Amino acid sequence: MDVWNGWLVASFYIISFIYFSIKRKDADLVSLIIPVLVLGNFFLLIFIIYSQIQC
């Protein structure tokens, strides 16, 4: 995993965090972090499988 792929994953975490914070304005921080972590780890898993196929 090179630097560009790391930036891609990090930007996905940030974008999904911003999306959930806009979607639920009254929610506290913990209820925002949980769906972001679930989505981000799911994306990371797909990304790892994809990079394994590429090799």
Q: Write the pLDDT tens digit of every residue in 30-54.
A: 777 777 788 778 888 888 888 888 7
pTM tops 0.85, yes or no: no
Which tokens belong to 24? 């639920």
Kind plus residue range of the DSSP H or E element containing 26 = none
H helices of the chain, where? 3-23, 29-54
What does the pLDDT read at residue 37?
Answer: 80
Look up the domain containing 31 and give its range: 3-54
What does the pLDDT read at residue 40?
Answer: 77
pLDDT top residue among 2 and 47? 47
Domain count, the chain: 1
Cα pseudo-dihedral 32, 36, 38, 43, rounded to 10: 170
What does the pLDDT read at residue 39?
Answer: 79
Per-residue pLDDT for 1 more than 60?
Answer: no
